[in-house]
Structure 1
Amino acid sequence: MSPASPPGGSFAPLAQPVFAVLWAATVLGNTGSFMRDVASSWLMTDLSASPAAVAMVQAAGTLPIFLLAIPAGVLTDILDRRKFLIAVQLLLASVSITLMILAQTGMLSVGALIGLTFLGGVGAALMGPTWQAIVPELVKREDVKSAIALNSLGINIARSIGPAAGGLLLAALGAGVTYGVDVASYLVVIAALIWWPRASKTDDALAEGFFGAFRAGLRYTRASRPLHVVLLRAAVFFAFASAVWALLPLVARQMLGGDASFYGILLGAVGAGAIGGAFVMPKLRERLSPDGLLLGAALTAAAVMATLSLAPPKWIAIVALLFLGAAWITALTTLNGTAQAVLPNWVRGRGLAVYLTVFNGAMTAGSIGWGAVGEAAGLSGTLLISAAGLAVAGIVMHRLKLPAGDADMVPSNHWPEPLVAEPVGHDRGPVLILIEYHVEKHNRTAFLHAIDRLSHERRRDGAYGWGVTEDSADPQKMVEWFMVESWAEHLRQHRRVSNADADLQGKLLTYHKGPGKPVVRHFLAINRPGKT
């Protein structure tokens, strides 16, 4: 086994029954969802031949994820995840039941199709961060990365089966039956979630409320520079790559002369290519860095779009989409894996929600934008423009390197409990924390550089204000200060400090030359009489 291989092997998580059952149920549920999406996209081409209208189906599915992913991430971190997932599955099942009835009765309209697709997107927005966040609960710690890769593989297995099966069902039995099969898949997922023997959530005196958790998630995102790099790289890649997804129904129908089953075969080819890409990716990782993988994915996807712009024979289009699938899973797993690696567990749901917001925002904006370009430049011209843009952007963004993601984000729990004269109410605040250092003159520059790096950790973990000052009478006495909104939030800071942060703080302490450790003081706001 190569040193880069996960300790338990790529398929080790499937030996753990809970993960295996939920993984299989998820594959089935995603297969049904892809069947529903094929039916909806193809029915839209029956209802309207406008590129903008067809692209709106893609946009309606991804816009809710852009709008709701962050609130969904907050709910992921504060609610019982199993009950939350069951509720979301019931919502998705009701959407497909409504689509089935409207399709069977011939009452489906452009507005109804877009509206119901939007509701399906709401369900996907609520579900996405939660499915990803439960992975550490289902497998051993050493198998988490393999489990994440298997989840991506499962999605693409569904992508290879669902569209083709959906296209065949749509052509043979109609949209109503296709939507009905999707409903049945949600029932299987609900049954698996009910079976999951998950421990009940224990009461926690420091449990976060919705709005406090929301603010904490945004603070972390604003202060995490490694996450910023991942988000920017994702936004650029998916904004250009979204063109092929938005216009593929029209490419299949108008440029390649195919029917619903051929459209399903094209999407199935993408899924099959993704599966193949998943199996060869370990070898590629041995030869290429994450940045090299992302550049290769961009250039490959651009080449596929350029090929499709030439209206090639059907078999060439199918082969091209095999390569698109391999490029797509390479980009997804590289970016998602890096995002997972730079996020600690306490904010994982919210951080992944921000990533999904950027991903789906880029897909939504790209779908709408490329649909508008398609109206003016035609399908071939639009595909060529997006291909050129993706290739150039991939080369330019290659200079902005992805974070290594090798920092130890496990909580260190090395901060001592703060000293208090009497119990402090959790809602009391704000809280001012002062840490006094003694730094010799020749260490001043190095100390300020180190404490500037530490400031990002303070802000990520809960501080909304930070600074460093010096004593006018003794410049070697320097005080770091930061403010937290409440006493409870500061106690949560104690839980959030990671081993990587502890190493950073240890480096800073090498510049402290005072007697003993730096003095830490906590100051609580006082509500004066007559003041609120």
Structure 2
Amino acid sequence: MRAYLPAMPLLRLPRAFAPLRHSVFRMLWLATLASNIGGWMQNTGAGWLMTSLSPSPFMVGLVQAATMLPVFMLALPAGALADIVDRRLFLLGAQAWILLMALILAVLTWTDSIGPWGLLALTFAIGAGSAMNFPAWAATTNELVPREDLVGAIALNGIGFNLARALGPAFGGFAIAAAGPEAAFALNAVAFLVLILALLFWKRTEAPSRMPKEHLLSAMRAGLRFVSASPAMRAAIIRACAFFLFTAAVWGLLPLFVRQQLGLGPQAFGLMLGVMGLSAVAAGFALPALRSRLDRSQTVFWASILAAVAMGILAASHHWAPAALGMLFYGAAWIAAGSTLSASAQLAAPGWVRARAIAIYQLSFFGVMALGSALSGWVGGSFSVPLALGVAAAGCAIAAVFVRRWGIDSVALAETSQGVSHEPQPGAPAAELRGLLGEASGRVLEVVRYRIDPAQRAAFLAAMQEVRRVRLRSGAGTWGLYEDVAQPDLWVELWSVDSWTEHMREESRRTDWDRAALARAAALHQPLPGAAAGGEPAPEAARFLNVNP
């Protein structure tokens, strides 16, 4: 399935803008830019409003926690739904929900009917809509551009996000100064209306499939199994958690930092965020040159060190000039680490599970951001805002050193393929059992028998380590490898899936890389003497249906 249209000629545009030549991507990118600007205006208004309703550092920190916590709670089901339902309708529903909640918040604020807990509740509701939107939109990118533009499109999404972060807080600050926080909330609703209109113009076509739709719970389990068996995804998640846990302190404490430590008003708050956003946009354009000198792991490491330096500068600042410098460094570090980690996660996931894998990645880093924002608010309230920022700076630097061993440079674009399978094929189901095969069949046990030269034992075990990950990534619930104690050259591989339908999905979920891993293990199989006359030319495969008498 591809929704992008033939590309228009690209006239001397920077390489970062190349994906915009695809009209559908361009339309949705611009509409998403508008909605992100509105979202940052809403965040700015909510944070500033809380400093008036309840100015304690803990309550102000909870505003950011209420924004991010829904992602932690809803990301996985949202990603599963985005993979199994019409993605366009799903995105439309999420935007409509955000629009409704933003209007309610604007009206309640305008009538002075909002309190601190009501603000947190509606911020949480808007965050819930965003949580449903994030994985679906990220997984949609590969439908809007061809593969050669995918990495550029992911980077451009990051540039757009940070451009919105530069403009949105500044617009929000001026809107608050001119007409109060309710103006920022109302403008957020208008921005999401723009995105709804763009989605209505998008004519998405879904590729036909002979397989039935996955159920929500089984889809969620398959997503978790994929991520748990994917070293590339795990590395991206670990590195993201280490970075975002500590850098979340800036988001949680910036309103109080501006008001108490700098003694400035909402315009300065918006402009500080604007400086950070503009720095992030500039760094986004510089990233292609940076990546020619540093690999992905090094980029994230040095971005983490730069973020630690930035938070240290903020902790020591009592004037707007050094504070602006700190925000400048922080914005560059944020885009460098965030876009690199996001691209690594997206490129590690094949199409069938992409939204779920991205959702789990987002669940992880938004969860630690919510935790980091709340913890920094607690430290700031119990001690001081400068101390909280200083602790976050030290923690970010230490964590960056600790997680360097989890490299993210081996990530390659993973796509399913319908090529020739290298896996031994079992016999066709018996006619009398075909009526039992389907989603209600019960668990299916799959078996492959190998005959391995004892001299190749170590090589076979190494190959089977990757085979195990292939089976789990494709949907296996359990996996095991057994050696015959009486005949050391005989081995049995066992794995199970939830149903016959899940077994049928296995083949379509495998990538060419997965098939190569299976072929390496099968190549170590040694046929019995006389195989040409009817021995064992390849590993023997079989399938067994669970029966409970």
Quick check: TM above 0.5? yes
In the alignment, what sits opposite 2:471? Answer: 458
- Which residue in the other structure is 2:364 paired with? 358
* Matched position secondary structure for 2:292: helix
Q: Which residue of 2 aligns with 1:378?
A: 384
- CA 408–173 in structure 1, closer or farther in 2 if over 3 Å, else same: closer
C-alpha distance in 2 between matches for 1:418 and 1:429? 19
Asked if 1:434 corresponds to 2:455, the answer is no
Partner of 2:437 in structure 1?
A: 425
**Tell me, what secondary structure is at the counterpart of 2:383?**
helix
Structure 1 residue runs of 5 or longer lacking an equivalent are: 1-7
Distance 2:91 2:481 in 1: 45
Q: What per-residue deviation string (whole Å, max 9, x for no partner) do you get for residues 141-197 of structure 1?
A: 211111111111111111111100110011012222222111111111001000001
Q: TM-score, normalised by structure 2?
A: 0.92
Residue matched to 2:336: 330
Q: Are 2:315 and 2:385, in contact at CA under 8 Å, matched by a contact in 1? A: yes
Distance 2:134 2:538 in 1: 45
Segment of structure 1 superposing worse, 162-171 or 228-237: 228-237
2:405 is paired with a residue whose SS is coil
1:518 maps to 2:527: no
User: CA–CA distance in 2 between the matches of 1:132 and 1:426?
Assistant: 32
Match of 1:491 in 2: 504
Shift of 1:75: 0.6
Contact 1:413 1:497 in 2 (8 A): no
Partner of residue 483 from structure 2, selected from 470, 473, 476: 470
Q: Tell me by how many angstroms 1:429 deviates.
A: 2.4
- The equivalent residue for 1:214 is 220
The offset of 1:281, in angstroms, is: 0.8
What corresponds to 1:402 in structure 2? 408
> So what's the TM-score if we normalise by structure 1?
0.95
- 2:140 is matched with 134
Contact kept? 1:62, 1:364, Cα under 8 Å: yes
Q: CA deviation at 1:205?
A: 2.9
Distance 1:257 1:277 in 2: 29
* Partner AA of 2:516 in structure 1: D
1:287 is paired with a residue whose SS is coil
Q: 2-side partners of 1:273 and 1:407: how far apart? A: 29
CA distance in 2 between partners of 1:418 and 1:275 (Å): 57
Distance 1:371 1:414 in 2: 56
> What amino acid is aligned across from residue 449 of structure 2 in structure 1?
E
More displaced 10-residue stretch of structure 1: 52-61 or 423-432: 423-432
Secondary structure at 1:481's aligned position in 2? strand
3-state SS of the aligned residue for 2:544? Answer: strand
Question: How many residues get paired?
Answer: 521
Q: Aligned partner of 2:285: which letter?
A: F
Say whether the 8 Å CA contact 1:341–1:406 is kept in structure 2.
yes
Q: What per-residue deviation string (whole Å, max 9, x for no partner) do you get for residues 363-393 of structure 1?
A: 0111111111112220111111111111121
Unpaired stretches in structure 2, ≥5 consecutive residues: 1-13, 528-535
Q: Give the percent of matched residue pairs that are identical in Structure 1 and Structure 2.
A: 38
**Residue 449 (structure 1) aligned with residue 462 (structure 2):** yes
Which one of 24, 31, 40 corresponds to residue 25 of structure 1? 31
Contact in 2 for aligned 1:61/1:120 (Cα 8 Å): yes
> Residue 112 of structure 2 is aligned with which of 94, 103, 106?
106
Q: Deviations over 1:284-319 (max 9, x none)?
A: 111111121112111111111111112242122223
- Aligned residue for 1:168, secondary structure, equals helix
Q: Which of 235, 242, 247 is residue 241 of structure 2 equivalent to?
A: 235
Alignment partners' CA distance in 2, 1:433 and 1:291: 38
- Matched residue type, 1:523: F
- The offset of 1:526, in angstroms, is 2.4
Alignment correspondent of 2:268? 262
1:4-62 C-alpha deviation (Å, 9 max, x unpaired): xxxx9432211111000000000001001111111110010011220001001000111
Q: CA deviation at 1:410?
A: 3.1
Inter-partner Cα distance in structure 2 for 1:49 and 1:10: 41
Please tell me the residue identity of whatever aligns with 2:334: W
Letter in 2 for 1:420: P
Contact 2:238 2:406 in 1 (8 A): no
Alignment match, 1:5: none
Helix, strand or coil for the counterpart of 1:511? coil
Indicate the SS of the match to 2:16: coil
When residues 112 and 486 of structure 1 are mapped into structure 2, their CA distance, relative to the original with a 3 A threshold, is same
